[in-house]
Amino acid sequence: MSRIAVLGLGAMGSRMAANWLKAGHEVTVWNRTAAAGMPLAAAGARLAATPREAAQGAQFVIAMLRDDAASRDVWLDPAQGALAALGGDAIAIESSTLTPQWGRTLGQQVSQSGSALLEAPVSGSRPQAEAGQLVYLIGGEAEVLERVRPLLQVTGGAIHHVGSLGQGALAKLATNALLGIQVAALAEIIALLEAQGADVPRTLAAMSGTSAWAPVAGYLSSAMLSSNHAPQFPISLIEKDFAYTLQLATSTQQAPALTAALEVFSKARAEGLGEQNMTAVIELARAAGH
């Protein structure tokens, strides 16, 4: 079994760490708020006080963090950053949703230290993380991926190698952008149907039999109809991902649909919905119709 360090114990990192523990790996965890690690400690994980302490002696160091700034701090902080503790044969795995530019920059830093970085963001939410059925979008060298593959197979139902460092982040941002556009469009469509007095469940059931219906639309529409917006993918996070994606565009004219979707999620956050699930944007559309 492997020695693994997990940095960041949010909704995803905590569930991934739990699955590695169940598989018999030796797991050390760190989180900025130490209390988040207590359930994992009760299950057999070792708690570390800093990212550097967590990475000490680990064969694989996995980060699941909020954004570029958090990733930079956790890996590169002069006093507590994990990078300084990596051994030459250790592999750094960055599973956060980040910009491609930062992924490439971090890769250079890790390479200069004598270790290797694999970019491994995931598609999926809490249920998939819990079931070990995440979809990995890998950026990095094929040889490094093969060393890491047995570890990722514990937490992932599919592993796709999409290219070099930066390409994993790009694939993840593209995936989330497509999802977000569907969320914003479906919210507006359901609100319009409601305002027109339609039998919305029956109409959606009919739509689900057409080629226009995406696999995720069933979950999204169910949450919207029931107004169950318990966080799976919070609005504040998808807003961040849209902002990262639009950094890649030369202008808003190149990506008008992405720009419009970002405005929807930004407005939702400004109205106090930031920590609710992305489906809560339907409440904006409903309010606009009254």
Active-site annotation holder among 22, 172, 240, 267: 172
CATH number at 196 reads: 1.10.1040.10
Average pLDDT of every residue of the chain: 97
Taking the C-alpha atoms of residue 25 and residue 154, their distance in angstroms, rounded to an integer, is 10
Average pLDDT (90-115) is: 97
Give the three-state DSSP class for 84.
Answer: helix
Q: Do 12 and 118 sit in the same domain of this protein?
A: yes
Q: Number of folded domains in the chain?
A: 2
pLDDT at 289 over 90: no
Structural domain including 137 reads 3-163
Give the three-state DSSP class for 277.
Answer: strand
* Per-residue confidence (pLDDT) for residue 252, from 0 to 100: 87
Q: Do 158 and 174 sit in the same domain of this protein?
A: no
Tens-place pLDDT, residues 23-77? 999 999 999 999 999 999 999 999 999 999 999 999 999 999 999 999 999 999 9
3-state secondary structure 211-231: CCCCCCHHHHHHHHHHCCCCC
| H or E, element range at 190 | helix 167-195
Taking the C-alpha atoms of residue 75 and residue 249, their distance in angstroms, rounded to an integer, is 28
* Per-residue confidence (pLDDT) for residue 128, from 0 to 100: 96
Average pLDDT (282-286) is: 97
Q: Which of 119, 136, 163 is the last residue of a domain?
A: 163
| Residue 150: exposure state from Cβ atoms within 10 A (0-12, 13-18, ≥19) | exposed
Taking the C-alpha atoms of residue 3 and residue 6, their distance in angstroms, rounded to an integer, is 10
Tens-place pLDDT, residues 162-189? 999 999 999 999 999 999 999 999 999 9
Q: Quote the percentage of the chain above a pLDDT of 90.
A: 98
Tell me, yes or no, if 172 is annotated catalytic: yes
Tens-place pLDDT, residues 137-146? 999 999 999 9
Q: Which of 112, 143, 163 is the last residue of a domain?
A: 163
